[in-house]
Structure 1
Amino acid sequence: MPTKIAESLGSKLADQWVVTLLTPAFVFWGGGLLAWAWRFGWGPLEKWFTSLTPTVQIVVSIGALLAVVISSAVVKRFDFLMLRLLEGYWPRWPGIEKLRGRLIDRKADQCDQKEEQRNKLYQKGWDNLSREEREEYIDLENYLQYIPGRTMLLPTQLGNTLRKAESHADRYGLDTIVCWPHLWLLMPDQARQDLTEARASLDTAVRLFTWSILFLLWIGLAWWILPISFIVAFYAYRWSLLNAKSYSDLLMASIDLYRDKLYEALCWPLPTDPADEKKKGQVLTSYILRGSEQSLPRFVRNNSHANPKKKIVSASF
């Protein structure tokens, strides 16, 4: 009987075991087990497990699998919260607010210095720069590319990278928070898939960081828990920063390339120049957010954006 149960469970849960073995949740629980054995030895655990009947051993094994799966699902629910904390959206407690302000001021001074260095190199002209100066200029440009405006700075590099992308639509007069759900529905499938995969990679890196912090729960059992947790957390943060840059690049590119579709879908006339776009983008954002009873601008229908020769049917708001 136990053999048949084991075979049945093995056939049904094999794939789940393979997936679970590769998750940080399994490493967390496995590391905790190793830390416990480091402290107390394998003997007591082995003696206890072998004293169980085969059926109870199977139940215990299933319980261990469920613990890994359930804990993985629970931690996944906190991906967004951990991401916000890594960005620098911290509780508004007096001490934390003071620390946050100091870090932002320090980040602002650092950005000012790097921008000044970049400008000095730019004024020299590319052809007049040495190889070292060209490499320095490229590094400075790459750094400043993911920095938002001074008034929008966050205390962490990860937060600034994502905020830069979130505020990218401002140059077109659009508000990302208001317009993004509408724009998302208008984007091509491939673009949406690329963005989804980039965001999933970012969430995975953040989840690994969460598990590295939770790994400290075993620190009372073994001294090596602390360095392992620190190394994994450092790697996870650097990985999340790389993924955040990739995600931000795709987000900003999507706004650049597909913002016209927002005008077309809402039957608004396309902007005629950058200055006009800034103004129309602000009005369009307000229209999406609050609606309007104004008679202008006129709606543009019948795919007139794609074919200007077609007759335009106009209607007031």
Structure 2
Amino acid sequence: MTGLLVEVGRRLAERWLSVLVLPGLLLVAALSTGLLLGQGDALSARRLADAATDMARRLQADGSATVLLTGLAALLGAGAAGLAAQGLGRLVRAVWLGDWPQWATPARSRLSQRRSRQWQNHQAGLEEAAAAGRDPSGFARRRNRISLAPPVRPTWMGDRLAGADVRVFAEYRLDLAACWPRLWLVLPEDVREELRTASGALDAAAVLAGWAVLYAFAGVVWWPASLVAVAVYATGRYRARIAAATFADLIESTVDLYGGALCTALGLAAAETPLTPELGAAVTSRCRKGA
């Protein structure tokens, strides 16, 4: 037990160091550089070297205790920045997925309706082209760039994930929100791990965007930090779009491959029976329990 606790403690320390402290130290360094140089001489390497040398001398003159406390303060500041980035990441993820607060309902509705109109226009063009014997693939590509299902969210990522629910219900009459906890219990561990990895990639991208927000604040005292914020946010958003698409595809694939196993586990079908709309409706009714 002692060895286990030591190993757990070591892993937690490593994670704390890599996830919170090291990225936070970069932010602390950016803030410190801004405080030393100001906005006017933001890129002056000579002034930075002189200011850093002068600060080091003053710290040494104050004694080793001051040096130790300064280092401890930097570590604590880096850890606090890491926690702040994770908290901001949750907010960024909610914005990306369209889970906006009540006061943002008007903006959410307008954006959702705009996306829906664009989607419907491309869908109508697709149907007209197909009826006239023309190639509808151009309309299909433009429609799918908006969403794979009729949009209900104000953002692409929100509709990409919500579209999985819509497409699964349209294909199998399976209410994914009600049935997912039961489906999760019948999945093999390697499939669960794939889903965790995809969801974790989306979370990590959101945390990266949270760091971008902090660097944007750092730009108040050191303008180059604003450029870093733009680059970091663009990277996080790009990764998030890939992660959202991957996660949605994995969700649909999970239902395609293991929906029949859920029917079997619930006693609604024999083993190896594929999921059908009739079975999907029966599973939905069982999982909803009349709600």
TM over 0.5: yes
Given residue 69 of structure 1, which amino acid in structure 2 is its aligned partner?
A: G
**Closer, same or farther: CA 272–187 of 1 in aligned 2, 3 Å:** closer
Asked if the contact 1:24/1:208 (under 8 Å) is kept, the reply is no
Confirm or deny that 1:228 pairs with 2:228: yes
Higher relative contact order (CA 8 A, sep 6+): 2
- Please give the residue correspondences for 1:87-106 in structure 2 after superposition, counting only pairs within 5 Å: 87-93=97-103, 96-106=104-114
Q: Which residue of 1 aligns with 2:283?
A: 284
Q: Which residue of 1 aligns with 2:265?
A: 265
Q: Which residue of 2 aligns with 1:84?
A: 94
Q: Which residue of 2 aligns with 1:217?
A: 217
Q: Which residue of 1 aligns with 2:150?
A: 149
Asked if the contact 2:209/2:232 (under 8 Å) is kept, the reply is yes
Deviation at 1:124, TM superposition (A): 7.5
Q: SS state of the match for residue 51, structure 1?
A: helix
Q: SS state of the match for residue 154, structure 1?
A: coil
Give the length in aligned residue pairs.
269
Given residue 49 of structure 1, which amino acid in structure 2 is its aligned partner?
A: L
**Closer, same or farther: CA 250–233 of 1 in aligned 2, 3 Å:** same
Q: SS state of the match for residue 102, structure 2?
A: coil
Q: SS state of the match for residue 149, structure 1?
A: coil
Q: Which residue of 2 aligns with 1:160?
A: 159
Structure 1 CA distance, aligned partners of 2:177 and 2:12? 42
TM-superposition CA deviations, 1:172-219 (whole Å, max 9, x none): 222222211121121122211111111111111111111211222223
**Closer, same or farther: CA 200–209 of 1 in aligned 2, 3 Å:** same
Higher helix share: 2
Deviation at 1:273, TM superposition (A): 8.7
Structure with bigger gyration radius? 1
Q: SS state of the match for residue 211, structure 1?
A: helix
Asked if the contact 2:28/2:74 (under 8 Å) is kept, the reply is no
TM-superposition CA deviations, 1:134-166 (whole Å, max 9, x none): 6x467436525x43335xx11111111111123
Q: Which residue of 2 aligns with 1:60?
A: 70
Asked if the contact 1:28/1:215 (under 8 Å) is kept, the reply is yes
Given residue 206 of structure 2, which amino acid in structure 1 is its aligned partner?
A: V
Q: Which residue of 2 aligns with 1:50?
A: 60
Q: Which residue of 2 aligns with 1:299?
A: none
Q: SS state of the match for residue 250, structure 2?
A: helix
Unaligned 5+ runs, structure 2:
1-10, 40-46
Given residue 242 of structure 1, which amino acid in structure 2 is its aligned partner?
A: I
Asked if the contact 2:259/2:274 (under 8 Å) is kept, the reply is no
**Closer, same or farther: CA 105–66 of 1 in aligned 2, 3 Å:** same
Asked if the contact 1:118/1:137 (under 8 Å) is kept, the reply is yes
Q: SS state of the match for residue 167, structure 1?
A: helix
Structure 1 CA distance, aligned partners of 2:61 and 2:123? 68
Asked if the contact 1:218/1:225 (under 8 Å) is kept, the reply is yes
Structure 1 CA distance, aligned partners of 2:67 and 2:264? 63
Deviation at 1:111, TM superposition (A): 1.3
| 1:110 paired residue among 118, 122, 126 | 118
Structure 1 CA distance, aligned partners of 2:114 and 2:143? 19
Confirm or deny that 1:39 pairs with 2:38: yes
Unaligned 5+ runs, structure 1:
1-11, 293-317
Asked if the contact 2:205/2:240 (under 8 Å) is kept, the reply is yes
Percentage identity across paired residues of the two chains: 22
Structure 2 CA distance, aligned partners of 1:251 and 1:213? 30
Query: Please, what TM-score do these two structures have when normalized by structure 1?
Result: 0.70
Query: Please, what TM-score do these two structures have when normalized by structure 2?
Result: 0.76
TM-superposition CA deviations, 1:221-240 (whole Å, max 9, x none): 12333333233223322221
**Closer, same or farther: CA 89–291 of 1 in aligned 2, 3 Å:** closer
Q: SS state of the match for residue 38, structure 2?
A: helix
Q: SS state of the match for residue 221, structure 1?
A: coil
Structure 2 CA distance, aligned partners of 1:256 and 1:71? 42
TM-superposition CA deviations, 1:272-310 (whole Å, max 9, x none): 898xx4344334333223379xxxxxxxxxxxxxxxxxx
Structure 1 CA distance, aligned partners of 2:273 and 2:195? 29
Given residue 111 of structure 2, which amino acid in structure 1 is its aligned partner?
A: L
Given residue 259 of structure 2, which amino acid in structure 1 is its aligned partner?
A: R
Structure 1 CA distance, aligned partners of 2:204 and 2:267? 39
